[in-house]
Amino acid sequence: MASDALQQVIAGMRSGSGPDFGGDLEQARQDFDTLLATLPVEGEFAFDAMNFGGVPALHCQTGPAHAGALIYLHGGAFVSGSAQGYRGLAANIGKAAGLVTYALDYRLAPEHPFPAAIDDVLVAYRVLLNSGMKPDRIAIAGDSAGGGLSLASLVKIRDEGLPLPAAGYLLSPWADMTCSAETMASKAAVDPALDQAGLKVAAGLYLSGTAADNPLASPIYADLSGLPPLLVQVGSAEILLGDSLAIAAGAGAAGTHVQLEVWPEMVHVWQAFAFMLDEGQSSINAAGRFLRARLGGDR
């Protein structure tokens, strides 16, 4: 049975205050920003605006400078969201991993459709490499659309022949723009956050004519061999559960180390509610252990 805290989260999601990606986009963006602004950020975190070769970002010193970097990619269905709105979640993960956090403001659709977001991630990654940071001291993480973008970026980094980062961490990733997973229907009644119709609208804006099964737009269709170790966390009460299952199956079949965690009863990106949800902080702590192990701990 869901805890009181989880019931509060679900009630808030069902209240109608969240974004409707199937409706007016500007209204959805405003609603999403308003919702994100209600999430508290720990007072210990200080953020500085910066940019990577023209790509805006927020920097937070959540680990020693020599330890390495976490590139964080926010959610928002590729059409909304911001580093500012997700700064607390990004910093919590960076702190758990002992890494310096860089939350990117990659370009959004429809103004900047696929593959603009991937291009921005590659720019930021190259800047870090050119600064002298070793790739085995870098991790890429993201939630929802940012989770799919993280996986697509790892595929692109491999295909470009760049040295790969140490690990990827995907939170409730949206990695299939066809929106055809069986869980889109089977989990619809229990998912308080997302619906298939709204995601299809957002996918169309992001794709802007690109085929929905393009391997970089929908990385469940990509060759996932030769990627760094992946941690995938998803809730059992998500219509995107099928995307995570497909990622794990594809990566595992390709010989890529993948650790899939399906958290019972959890909803979309429950880690963002770590301030009130024990499972949120527990999952972040688990991710911190995973990342520290892949990056060799603090050094």
- In angstroms, what CA-CA distances link 226 with 155, 213, 229, 258? 9, 21, 9, 12
Query: What residue ranges do the domains of the chain occupy?
Result: 4-295
Whether 20 shows a pLDDT value over 90: the answer reads: no
Q: Is 225 labeled as catalytic in the residue annotation?
A: no
Q: Check pLDDT > 80 for residue 282.
A: yes
Does the pTM of the predicted model rise above 0.75? yes
What confidence category does residue 297 fall into, taking pLDDT thresholds of 50, 70 and 90? Answer: low
**Mean pLDDT, the chain, as a whole number?**
96
pLDDT at residue 289 is higher than 90: yes
| Selected catalytic residue, list 80, 82, 144, 218 | 144
Q: Please tell me the distance from the alpha carbon of residue 91 to that of residue 299, in angstroms, as a whole number.
A: 19
Summarised one tens digit per residue, pLDDT across range 200-245 is 999 999 999 999 999 999 999 999 999 999 999 999 999 999 999 9
Could you tell me the fold of the domain covering 4-295?
Rossmann fold (3.40.50)
178-206 pLDDT, tens digit per residue, is 999 999 999 999 999 999 999 999 999 99
* Residue tagged active-site, from 82, 238, 244, 283: 238
CA distances from 102 to 49, 93, 113 (A): 10, 11, 22
Q: Annotated catalytic, 160?
A: no
First to last CA, the chain: 42
Residues 6+ apart with CB under 8 A from 295: 67, 68, 97, 99, 136, 137, 139, 166, 167
Interacting residues of 249 by C-beta distance below 8 A, sequence separation 6+: none
What pLDDT is recorded for position 299? 41
For residue 171, what are the β-bridge partners? 143, 233
In this predicted structure, what is the pLDDT of residue 58? Answer: 98
Short-list 233, 284, 279, CA closest to 10:
279
Out of 59, 80, 218, 268, which one is annotated catalytic?
268
- Concerning whether 144 is annotated as a catalytic residue, the answer is yes
Q: What is the model's pLDDT at position 114?
A: 98
In this model, does residue 22 exceed pLDDT 90? no
Is pLDDT above 60 for 90? Answer: yes
